[in-house]
């Protein structure tokens, strides 16, 4: 079996930055709270035994305000950010700067009277954080939902379209095209999908051309990892989404196997799976 490892693999800069900041704070403190997982990867989180993952609701009932509190890489809602900064003296914000730019855009255009349309996953922390910064925000993930939202607007409406940073860029392009043809007072279209994830999309498409099966390494809760896996499955090529070697049950008939990872997948997790594959062929 031939193995092709994509060049686009391992951590992105936002995840690398968040993990470095978390390591620094862990060196100086024995107990730390994190609002949600720092990143959606179990292996990464297991490297931080002193970090207690808490929900936004649960942290409100903790009475010791001296513990440092980490805000995850995808950001938190504006209300929660204000609340936590008032209550705790050591709040370390790990939000990726690229996500923060999106927050800034939303606040600016929302303040100027625009309706904010967000292409993203309603339950994802980043989308909740984005919506919390919009006075009139709408989220959609599918065509039907998008059309339904557009019915709320008329020729006097101002509409700004943005995307969660890890969504599929081709699908987003489709929504941008539709909105650009609408006769609203003003339409602003923003390219907020992160370049790193666009490069991974292209890389997985290159693998699809060359391989008859592809292993996507990463956490199941990681949005960009799932997106890569969905692209593989949709193409008809056999796909595997795994975090650990024991989860991988390769078919014997594979001639060329591609390997790629999500942006929150550590190198050691990739190496473990690569070693396992090399030993089993
Ligand atoms: S994928 Fe992009 S936006 Fe998300 S954490 Fe990484 S660098 Fe930041």
Residue ranges of the alpha helices (H) in 187-236? 195-210, 223-235
Same domain, 147 and 85: no
Same domain, 169 and 208: no
pLDDT at 162: 98
Question: Ligand 1 pocket, 165 CB below 6 A?
Answer: yes
Name the domain boundary from 39, 61, 96.
96
Substitution candidate for ligand 1 out of 95, 101, 166 with most atoms within 8 A of CB: 166
Same domain, 160 and 92: no
pLDDT at 64: 66
The active-site residue out of 37, 126, 205, 267 is 126
pLDDT at 42: 87
Instruction: Please report, for the domain that includes residue 211, its CATH number.
Output: 3.40.1010.20
Same domain, 91 and 102: no
Same domain, 58 and 106: no
Nearest to 189 by CA among 197, 181, 200, 201: 181
- 3-state class (DSSP) for residue 89: coil
Nearest to 125 by CA among 190, 81, 186: 81
Name the domain boundary from 56, 77, 96.
96
Q: Which residue has the tokens 């989404």?
A: 241
Same domain, 247 and 202: yes
Same domain, 18 and 86: yes
pLDDT at 110: 98
Residue 99 · residue 74 · CB < 8 Å: yes
**Model pTM greater than 0.85?**
yes
Same domain, 44 and 79: yes
Question: Ligand 1 pocket, 96 CB below 6 A?
Answer: yes
Name the domain boundary from 96, 116, 148.
96
| Residue 162, strand partner residues | 118
Same domain, 251 and 219: yes
Same domain, 105 and 182: yes
User: Ligand 1 mean position to 165 CA, how many Å?
Assistant: 7
How many structural domains comprise the chain?
Answer: 3
Same domain, 33 and 107: no
User: Ligand 1 mean position to 189 CA, how many Å?
Assistant: 20
Instruction: Please report, for the domain that includes residue 91, its CATH number.
Output: 3.40.50.11270
Residue-range definition of the domain harbouring residue 234: 2-10+195-280
Tens of pLDDT along the chain (281 residues) come to 999 999 999 999 999 999 999 999 999 998 899 988 888 888 889 889 999 998 887 877 776 667 899 998 899 999 999 999 988 889 999 999 999 999 999 999 999 999 999 999 999 999 999 999 999 999 999 999 999 999 999 999 999 999 999 999 999 999 999 999 999 999 999 999 999 999 999 999 999 999 999 999 999 989 899 999 999 999 999 999 999 999 998 877 899 999 999 999 999 999 999 999 999 87
């Amino acid at each position: 079996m031939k193995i092709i490892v994509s060049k686009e693999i391992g951590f992105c800069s936002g995840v690398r930055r968040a993990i470095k900041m978390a390591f620094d704070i862990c060196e100086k403190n024995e107990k730390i709270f994190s609002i949600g997982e720092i990143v959606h990867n179990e292996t990464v989180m297991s490297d931080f035994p002193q970090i207690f993952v808490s929900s936004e609701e649960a942290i409100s009932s903790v009475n010791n305000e001296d513990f440092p509190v980490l805000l995850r890489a995808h950001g938190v809602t504006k209300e929660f950010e204000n609340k936590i900064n008032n209550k705790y003296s050591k709040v370390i914000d790990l939000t990726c700067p690229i996500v923060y730019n999106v927050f800034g855009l939303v606040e600016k255009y929302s303040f100027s009277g625009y309706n904010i349309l967000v292409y993203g996953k309603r339950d994802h922390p980043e989308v909740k954080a984005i919506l919390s910064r919009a006075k009139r925000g709408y989220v959609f993930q599918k065509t039907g939902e998008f059309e339904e939202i557009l019915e709320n607007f008329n020729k006097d409406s101002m509409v700004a379209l943005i995307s969660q940073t890890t969504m599929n860029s081709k699908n987003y392009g489709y929504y941008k095209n539709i909105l650009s043809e609408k006769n609203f007072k003003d339409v602003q279209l923003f390219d907020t999908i992160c370049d790193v994830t666009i490069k991974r999309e292209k890389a997985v498409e290159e693998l699809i051309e060359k391989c008859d099966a592809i292993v996507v390494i990463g956490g199941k809760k990681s949005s960009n990892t799932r997106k890569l896996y969905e692209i593989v499955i949709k193409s008809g090529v056999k796909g595997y989404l795994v975090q650990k070697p024991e989860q991988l049950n390769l078919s014997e008939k594979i001639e060329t196997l591609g390997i790629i990872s999500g942006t929150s997948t550590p190198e050691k997790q990739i190496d473990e799976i690569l070693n396992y594959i090399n030993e089993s062929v």
